[in-house]
Amino acid sequence: MLFDIGRIETLENYVLDDSLHQLSFYEIIFIEEGTGTLSIGDKTISLSKESIVFTSPGQTRRWAIEKDITGYVLFFEKDFLDLFFSIICSSIGFNSSINISNLLL
């Protein structure tokens, strides 16, 4: 699947515990409620109401949740970015052979 979205608190197999794990996808996390921290590599991000976090494939992360997290997560793969930007670029007249997702890494 190139793209998926769901509620954090209802997604099966979504890792919210304190285990260190490596990501194989991009994601955008929208926190509605809850508190804690999210360690991504050597950086720690404080989480609170209305936080937004972006992650990339290959990053390692570890949650430290103090108050239950609720919100949404948007997952997507590199191929989705390539397809999305290819469609957008060709529709507005840009060279669609340019791999724009490389600019995001």
Q: Are strands 52-55 and 3-7 parallel, antiparallel or unpaired?
A: unpaired
Tell me the Cα Rg of the chain: 15
User: Are 61 and 55 spatial neighbours (Cβ–Cβ below 8 Å)?
Assistant: yes
Candidates 23, 49, 25; CA nearest to 39 is: 23
Q: Report pLDDT digits (tens) over 68-103.
A: 999 999 988 777 666 666 666 666 665 545 554 444
Predicted model pTM: 0.72
The predicted-structure confidence for 46-76, as pLDDT tens digits, reads as follows 999 999 999 989 999 999 999 999 999 998 8
Largest CA distance in the chain: 48
The CA distance from 81 to 67, in Å, is 33
